[in-house]
Every structure is written in structure tokens, then in C-alpha cells.
Structure 1
Amino acid sequence: MTVPARLSIVTLGVTDLGRSTAFYQALGWPLSARSSGEISFFRTGGALLALYPTAELAADALLPAQDVTGFRGSTCAINVGSESEVDEALAVALAAGAELLKPAQKVEWGGYSGYFADPDGHAWEVAYNPFWPLNDQGLPELPEPAQPA
């Protein structure tokens, strides 16, 4: 057996479940009916996004809870179909209460992206990559590399 190569659920630890749930709803993400006062679920184009209190998430993983500020060693990304969609998504996030980490701009790899942080500081990139078309679910398709002639 191998470990299945699929991401099923991304769980973000949050300090205030109600505040964080309201933030993601303000992004336009529908809250799953399976959510409760203890955990929130959002269906994305691929994996589920779950929000769960940080201390309880740490205890579930048998890890010490830490007060984390600054960069956490990971980011989440949302790919969109154009530069204008990057700008629009960042504007919606800021209106919902996000902090702008990096304004949208052309980047060295040929795309266009910017970053925001949710109310708990989780970093999200919103990116347009002209080299990766989006499929029907809005997920990037990675083209095969060109074969040498």
C-alpha cells in the first residue's frame, strides 16, 4: 500500500471560531451544514477547509499548543483565471477583514499574485499563473514539461 496522493481536509487552528467562520463566509465560501459550534467546514474546489480551535487541534495531535505569530512555515493558495480576478479576490478578502501581506503584482515566474492573512494570521496567496490552465473545478492543471528535441 501507498499513502493516497490526495489532500482531503486542511484544518486551520483558530482562536475565535465564530469570527473565523464569519470571515470565510464573507469571502463567499458556503458553510457546510455539517458544521457545529465546535468546528466549521467549507467545501472548496478540492479539499475541505476545516476551522477548529487551536488548543484543541494541538491536543488532538498530541502537540503542545503554542502562541504563534509571524510566518508559520506554510501558505495556502487560491488560483484564479486572470490578473483582474486576483485583484478582485484580494479586495473581497480585505473587505472581509483580512490583512494585506503583499499587494498583487507581477512576479518573477511570469504570473501575478498577492497575499493576505486571515484573522488568525494564516497566509493565503491569490495567484494567476498563465502557464497553468484551470480545470472545470478551478484547479490548476500542470502541463507536462516539453520534451527535448
Structure 2
Amino acid sequence: MEQRISLITLGVDDFERSRRFYEQGLGWVAKDAPDGVVFYQLPGIALALFGRDDLAQDAHHPIDGRFSGITIAINERTEADVDMVLTQAAAAGATILKPAEKVFWGGYSGYFADLDGHVWEVAMNPFWTINDDGTLTL
């Protein structure tokens, strides 16, 4: 099997509210939106929003209300870009969990929770390259 992730699906409590957060709040553009799901094309990967209960049923995994231990990261080229994304997310209703700050590994990072509690890190890592097409090279 090849080492890759093709799609990340977030289970959301209120589909239309979450879609507004990503599209109007963060400025993302939907690539496809069949009934009850929306897909966003990202560099080299896609993100989907799907009703949380529907996703739990589809995966045969009950919702238990605990933090999953999974975060999703948006890597930016500069500290100013990190600050801009966190500001944009907060203005759209996200909860800032950790304001951006210089971190022990030499970068700059902060966290927000989207409207459904999914945890996103926004970071600038001086040791990684964000390519012109937006993909990440370690």
C-alpha cells in the first residue's frame, strides 16, 4: 500500500452551519456537493463535511463525546499568515484554543476548534517547505 491520505471527512453537527463556516468564514470553495456532503479540493488531498450522526452510522462507530486525539494542520509560510488564519477563523465563530506563539520545535503555532469542535493547528515550520502549489515537503 502506498503511504498517503486522500480524504479527511469531518463529522459535523449542523451541516449548513459548518459549510458556511468553511466557505464564508474561511473563504474555501466547494468542489462538489452531493446531497448531505460537501468536498473541498486542497493541494494533494480533499476535505469533506458530512453529518456527524450519518458518519457515525456509516463507520459503525458510536459518538462518545471525547476528544479523538486527532488534529488537522494548516501549514503557512509566515508567522503573519498563521495569525491571519487564526483571526479569520475566530471571526467566523471558531474558538481559539491556543493563540499563536513561538514553540519549542522552532516554529510558530496556534490552535482553534471549528464550530463542531474539530481541532485545527495553524503553524509555520521553518524546516518544511510549502511548495508553489500549496503542497508540503518535509
TM-score using structure 1 length: 0.87
Distance in 2, matches of 1:55 and 1:67, equals 11
3-state SS of 2:73 partner: strand
Residues 1:121 and 2:117 are matched in the alignment: yes
Cα displacement (A) at 1:67? 4.5
Residues 1:58 and 2:56 are matched in the alignment: yes
Distance in 1, matches of 2:97 and 2:74, equals 15
Distance in 2, matches of 1:5 and 1:117, equals 27
Q: Which 4+ stretches in 1 moved above 6 angstroms?
A: none
Q: Is the 8 A contact 1:16 1:53 kept in 2?
A: yes
1:73 to 69, 73, 83: 69
Structure 2 residues not aligned, in runs of 5+:
none
Q: CA RMSD in A?
A: 1.2
2:126 to 120, 124, 130: 130
TM-score using structure 2 length: 0.94
Task: Give runs of aligned pairs for residues 9-20 of structure 1, distance below 5 A.
Answer: 9-20=7-18
Distance in 1, matches of 2:17 and 2:129, equals 34
More strand by share: 2
Which protein is bigger by CA-based radius of gyration? 1
Distance in 2, matches of 1:36 and 1:118, equals 22
Structure 1 residues not aligned, in runs of 5+:
143-149
Distance in 2, matches of 1:107 and 1:41, equals 32
Range that drifts further, 53-62 or 118-127: 53-62
Q: Is the 8 A contact 1:79 1:138 kept in 2?
A: no
Distance in 2, matches of 1:52 and 1:131, equals 34
Residues 1:93 and 2:89 are matched in the alignment: yes
Superposed CA offset, 1:45-89 (max 9, x none): 22110010111111111222x2425x3210000000000100011
Q: Is the 8 A contact 1:10 1:48 kept in 2?
A: yes
Distance in 2, matches of 1:95 and 1:36, equals 28
Percent of aligned positions that are identical: 52
Distance in 1, matches of 2:113 and 2:35, equals 23
Number of equivalent positions: 137
- For 2:103, the equivalent position in structure 1 comes to 107
